Amino acid sequence: MLLHAAEKDIDEKTVSAILKAAGVKADDSRVKALVASLAGVDIADAMAQAVAAPAAAAPAAAGSSDAPAPVEEEEEEEEEAGFDGLGSLFG
């Protein structure tokens, strides 16, 4: 998101430079995997969807007390699962 906000290319060199500046020693193969996984992803669209998803779920949950709670928990687990993979890139 930082590189996107700065309008910089998201490539191995820039990601590695950001991590180095933050004092993080990242594995080159993990940086390469991250960059490959982001290829073709519209970062602005992904961020907009990530912000809109919780906001859309809140009124639905508040409007109906019959909605099963485990469904909401599954959605949270799915969201967290995506971040687990990214977190492992940085040790």
Distance (Å, rounded) from C-alpha 31 to C-alpha 11? Answer: 9
Residue 13 belongs to domain spanning = 2-90
**The overall pTM is greater than 0.85:** no
Instruction: Please tell me the total count of domains within the chain.
Output: 1
Listed as own residue / partner, the contacts of 82-85 with beta carbons closer than 8 Å and 24 or more positions apart are none
Amino acid in the structure at residue 23: G
Q: Is the pLDDT of residue 2 over 70?
A: yes
CATH code, domain carrying 8: 1.10.10.1410
Please give the structure tokens belonging to residue 38: 């982001």
> Could you tell me the sign of the dihedral formed by the alpha carbons of 18, 50, 39, 32, in that order?
positive
pLDDT digits (tens, 9 = 90+) for 64-80: 555 555 555 555 555 55
